[in-house]
């Protein structure tokens, strides 16, 4: 069963208000998103992330909480950040917040964790 698409869901809202709220929370120590730490350095997407996703056989779409479509939001509510995949018309979470945190901000570690989850 090939993966049609993957979705990375950040633990933050998108848009200017959501981004500012996240940055303010990060400064205060009240906001954290392990997926943000993997994909971004400051406000820029990591070069290693762009290189890693370009080598995949499927697309990873990154979404904020308020950007999800209903079917995705239904399964991710209260479980973000996470990575979900779609195969055979079914969406399922394959990496949760604990697994993403275990990657330690490393794109390479994320890739290995993702590959392991896909092989299961």
Q: What is the pLDDT of residue 1?
A: 64
Give the Cα separation of 73 and 68 in Å (integer).
Answer: 6
pTM of the prediction? 0.91
Tell me the pLDDT tens digit for each residue of 89-109. Answer: 899 999 999 999 999 999 999
Q: Are 9 and 76 in contact (CB under 8 A)?
A: yes
Q: What is the pLDDT of residue 31?
A: 77
Any idea where the domains of the chain sit in the sequence? 5-119
Q: What is the pLDDT of residue 25?
A: 80
User: Please, which pLDDT band fits residue 58 given cuts at 50, 70 and 90?
Assistant: very high
User: Please, which pLDDT band fits residue 24 given cuts at 50, 70 and 90?
Assistant: confident
Tokens representing 109 are: 């570690």
Mean pLDDT of 75-95: 95
Q: What is the pLDDT of residue 77?
A: 96
Q: Let me know the angle formed at the C-alpha of 96 by 68 and 78, rounded to the nearest 5 degrees.
A: 55
80 class by beta-carbon count within 10 Å (0-12 exposed, 13-18 middle, 19+ buried): buried
Tokens representing 31 are: 């906001």
Nearest of 61, 57, 112 to residue 83 by alpha carbon: 61
Percentage of the chain with pLDDT > 70?
A: 99
């Amino acid at each position: 069963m090939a993966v049609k698409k993957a979705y990375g869901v950040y633990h933050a809202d998108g848009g200017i208000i959501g981004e500012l709220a996240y940055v303010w929370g990060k400064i205060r120590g009240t906001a954290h998103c392990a997926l943000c730490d993997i994909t971004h350095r400051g406000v820029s997407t990591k070069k290693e992330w762009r290189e890693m996703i370009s080598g995949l056989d499927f697309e990873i779409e990154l979404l904020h909480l308020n950007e999800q479509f209903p079917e995705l939001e239904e399964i991710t509510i209260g479980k973000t950040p996470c990575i979900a995949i779609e195969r055979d018309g079914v969406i399922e979470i394959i990496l949760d917040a604990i697994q993403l945190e275990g990657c330690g901000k490393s794109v390479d570690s994320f890739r290995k964790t993702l590959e392991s989850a896909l092989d299961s």
